[in-house]
Structure 1
Amino acid sequence: MSLSANRQPCRLSRPGVVCSLGDDLETIADALFNGRRGLTSSAAFTPERALPLGMVTCALPDWDDWPPEQRSRNNRLLALAMQRLNGPLDTLRESVAPERIGVVIGTSTSGIGETERAIAEAGREGPLPEAFRYANQELGAPAHFVAQRIGAQGPVYALSTACSSSARALASARRLLASGTCDAVVAGGADSLCRLTVNGFASLEAISERPCLPFSAQRDGINIGEAAALFVVTPEDGGIQLSGTGESSDAYHVSAPRPDGSGAHEAMRQALAMGGCAPEAVDYLNLHGTGTHHNDSMEAKAVAALFATSPPCSSTKALTGHTLGAAGALEAAFCWLALDRGRLPVHVFDAVPDPELPPLDYVMPTVTPEHTSRPLTYALSNSFAFGGNNAALLMTREEA
């Protein structure tokens, strides 16, 4: 089924991305399509317990000349993502008035890592360091940082719905364009590794001490990662379009997803309906696929309920770790690469799917090489978060 005739154009530019796979699209694409993990064993956040982490190891922009309230690792990740987005940003500045440019960023950590270090330095009795600024950890700080760097004067805000934050940021960007509020939006997300998130997931017994195995019979938890991914979103035809978005709320549990996957199913259904795409037309599905028992179970059920036959699918969190608030935008960037290159991201696990889950068509080149390189038109990306904050994004490649 083709796109609806009355759809709203919503072009996604080439993305600017930094993650544990690298900080340029060629390097990232090579890892993505060949199934090369970007995980590092580290005890940096969990003393005496080394864990696989999706750590960004490339050089980040120096912050010495930044105002103190902007000095966070999240902002350094975003600054590098903006550097990698320089072509689309240059075009944006030349063609759109500043007051018509919006910024929407998804995050769940903001600058809390800097707060952790400040508290550790101060100890129980001492004052916080003079250079510390509480504004570092405000959830809106990354969005205001991006706006300041690019000179945007339109709506500027952050969304924080845990692991669906930046997927919802892209959905929000689409609404800003459709309403006529903006002529362009810089949208995406960023989250950085910190003790709060790594130890928080460990306290939930959701962390794996080995590289994660999404949808495997032997899966035992997630790996945590960090990333930033940004797009320039414009109301133009052609290229790669954000053609549909879906959002739902389970209202079931503060952390666990609804077991039957009905909320996830509804988000995917909405995205396909908005984009005028029949389930059987989807060429690739980027699974949320965290590697936990509950998430993978409910997602497999949701996919099986929506698709009569599973589309080729994979969980890229096995490569990058779960980048939390950045995951939605990062995996949208992976879908952008898949559509642009006509190749499918590989599903990396032990090749032993859980027999208790509905069967899915995992992209495994040693078994199904025909899946790895072929023309693609529709890609669907899932992001499911604490509290049942579900989001799905449908992306479409249009001929020029």
Structure 2
Amino acid sequence: MRAPHRDVAITGVGLVTPAGIGTDANWERIRSGLSAAAPDPQLAGLAIDFSCRVPGFDANALLGRRTAWRLDRCVQLAMVAARQAVADAGHDPQSWDGTRVGVVVGNSLGGTATFEAQHRTYYEGAPDEVSALMIPMAMVNMVAGYLAMDHNIHGPSLVTATACASGASALGIARDWLAAGVCDIVLAGGTESALTPATLTGLSRMGALSSRRDDPAAASRPFAADRDGFVAAEGAGILVLERAADARARGARRYAHLAGFGASSDAHHATAPHPDGAGVTRALRTALDDAGVAPEDVDHVNAHGTSTPMNDLTEARALHRVLGSRPAVTSTKGVTGHTLAAAGAIEAAYTALALRHGMVPPTANVATLDPQIEVDVVTGEARTTPLQVAVSTSLGFGGHNAALVLTAA
């Protein structure tokens, strides 16, 4: 039997993604299955000139100009999401004991837009015009530092950098802090905003991106027979985590419980998953064991599902090996695109919302399912069904794997 102190509740959710700003906007778009991919003027002239950006994001309006101007966009997105999450959880950072609050956020590329802009200034012959804030704006760790400053947090702060598993890794570490008594509250999640010419060119050159320039909205098609790569995206997802007993004691709403976490390394290839899915299989089995959940109890999976040929087939085989064909599987990247380091946190939030609403969102743009994929992929429209146990999986470059088990509150 699991120890009661290991039960962790999600009491607040903040989402700033291509599906919208705020939890309600995100859930409406995700359950509709309407893709957010579109031509991107900032990528004009590149081989891949489309992406998934956060719509209508005005950092000056949302954060105030004096705050926004000194932050890279990846931190701006996270700060807005964190403020949403804390307010949603019913906490007041000015009155809580900040020494008992922690923050752990996934990020892999840091302030890429800032670095590219300042690099351009330097090489155009104006080193005296390079911003004195370039380093603190570009450093990967600064998102955790700035969230701590913004929320009166004096407990541990940390950034996880496990590539596209970073957000899920952050949630797993936050859960461990709570179980160990290190913190009473943790802001945990992920953020990324790297839709820059250099980054997209690098991803394009390695063959990771979809090339459907003629129809960007249909480009991200996880598990489809004709998938050809992912659509790069930006976004942030921050969750407020507390021990379930503490949440119940203060009468807080609980979206779901974060019941289990597992991680593993492929030790195989820099960018390709292990061909037999051994790594993600280990992570998933570890998470289920940690949660005390049997494979046959899993009702739903929010899969990593990037829309790349290798990932989707490898992951689907691992899911089928461990869970069989019973769970309703979706990849919400068909709507949002791939938010890189933020993906695991954003998708964990979507998984919690699926449990809360008893609804599995559809995987967008799948006209014909890859016949080699044997799991029950939800397509076309959302599926209403009772949900008690759900899994969210994340795989990252470098062979990082993470799996989260969530249960209904």
TM-score range with shorter-chain normalisation?
Answer: over 0.9
- Identify if the C-alpha distance between structure 1 residues 361 and 315 changes in structure 2 by more than 3 Å, giving closer, same or farther: same
Q: For the residues of structure 2 that align with 1:107 and 1:6, how far apart are their CA atoms? A: 31
- Identify if the C-alpha distance between structure 1 residues 123 and 271 changes in structure 2 by more than 3 Å, giving closer, same or farther: same
- Deviation of 1:95 after TM superposition, in Å, equals 6.5
- Deviation of 1:217 after TM superposition, in Å, equals 1.5
User: Percent identical across equivalent pairs?
Assistant: 33
Aligned-residue CA RMSD (Å): 2.0
Structure 1 residues 176-197: Cα deviation after superposition (integer angstroms, max 9, x where no partner):
1111111111111110122343
Secondary structure, in 3 states, of the residue corresponding to 1:231? strand
In the alignment, does 2:47 pair up with 1:58? no
Q: For the residues of structure 2 that align with 1:6 and 1:149, how far apart are their CA atoms? A: 32
Structure 1 residues 323-345: Cα deviation after superposition (integer angstroms, max 9, x where no partner):
00000000011111111111111
Trace 1:291-302 onto structure 2 (pairs within 5 A). Answer: 291-302=307-318
Contact 1:102 1:154 in 2 (8 A): yes
Choose the corresponding residue for 2:223, options 199, 215, 221.
215
In the alignment, does 2:180 pair up with 1:172? no
Q: For the residues of structure 2 that align with 1:196 and 1:397, how far apart are their CA atoms? A: 42
In the alignment, does 2:378 pair up with 1:344? no
- Deviation of 1:79 after TM superposition, in Å, equals 2.2
Secondary structure, in 3 states, of the residue corresponding to 1:44? helix
- Following TM superposition, the consecutive aligned residue runs of length 4 or more in structure 1 with deviations greater than 6 angstroms are none
Q: For the residues of structure 2 that align with 1:107 and 1:281, how far apart are their CA atoms? A: 32
The normalised TM-score by structure 1 is 0.92
Q: For the residues of structure 2 that align with 1:58 and 1:14, how far apart are their CA atoms? A: 23
Secondary structure, in 3 states, of the residue corresponding to 1:277? coil
Choose the corresponding residue for 1:276, options 292, 308, 312.
292
Q: Tell me which amino acid in the other structure corresponds to 1:159.
A: T
Trace 1:120-131 onto structure 2 (pairs within 5 A). Answer: 120-127=120-127, 129-131=129-131
Trace 1:156-171 onto structure 2 (pairs within 5 A). Answer: 156-171=157-172
- Deviation of 1:221 after TM superposition, in Å, equals 0.5
Contact 1:280 1:309 in 2 (8 A): no
Contact 2:12 2:86 in 1 (8 A): no
Contact 1:96 1:184 in 2 (8 A): no
Contact 1:7 1:275 in 2 (8 A): no
Gaps of 5+ in 1: none
Q: For the residues of structure 2 that align with 1:207 and 1:103, how far apart are their CA atoms? A: 32
Q: Which residue of 1 aligns with 2:216?
A: none
Trace 1:130-279 onto structure 2 (pairs within 5 A). Answer: 130-131=130-131, 132-192=133-193, 193-210=195-212, 211-237=219-245, 239=254, 240-279=256-295
Q: Tell me which amino acid in the other structure corresponds to 1:246.
A: G
- Identify if the C-alpha distance between structure 1 residues 360 and 128 changes in structure 2 by more than 3 Å, giving closer, same or farther: farther
- Identify if the C-alpha distance between structure 1 residues 130 and 351 changes in structure 2 by more than 3 Å, giving closer, same or farther: closer
Secondary structure, in 3 states, of the residue corresponding to 1:264? helix
Secondary structure, in 3 states, of the residue corresponding to 1:225? coil
Q: Which residue of 2 aligns with 1:28?
A: 26
Q: Tell me which amino acid in the other structure corresponds to 2:283.
A: A
- Deviation of 1:161 after TM superposition, in Å, equals 0.9
Q: For the residues of structure 2 that align with 1:287 and 1:67, how far apart are their CA atoms? A: 33
Q: For the residues of structure 1 that align with 2:200 and 2:48, how far apart are their CA atoms? A: 11
In the alignment, does 2:16 pair up with 1:18? yes
Contact 1:61 1:79 in 2 (8 A): no
Contact 2:288 2:295 in 1 (8 A): yes
Q: Which residue of 2 aligns with 1:315?
A: 331
- Deviation of 1:307 after TM superposition, in Å, equals 1.7
Q: For the residues of structure 1 that align with 2:357 and 2:170, how far apart are their CA atoms? A: 25
Q: Which residue of 2 aligns with 1:333?
A: 349
Q: Tell me which amino acid in the other structure corresponds to 2:2.
A: S
Q: For the residues of structure 2 that align with 1:89 and 1:340, how far apart are their CA atoms? A: 15
Q: Which residue of 1 aligns with 2:215?
A: none
The normalised TM-score by structure 2 is 0.90
Aligned residues: 390
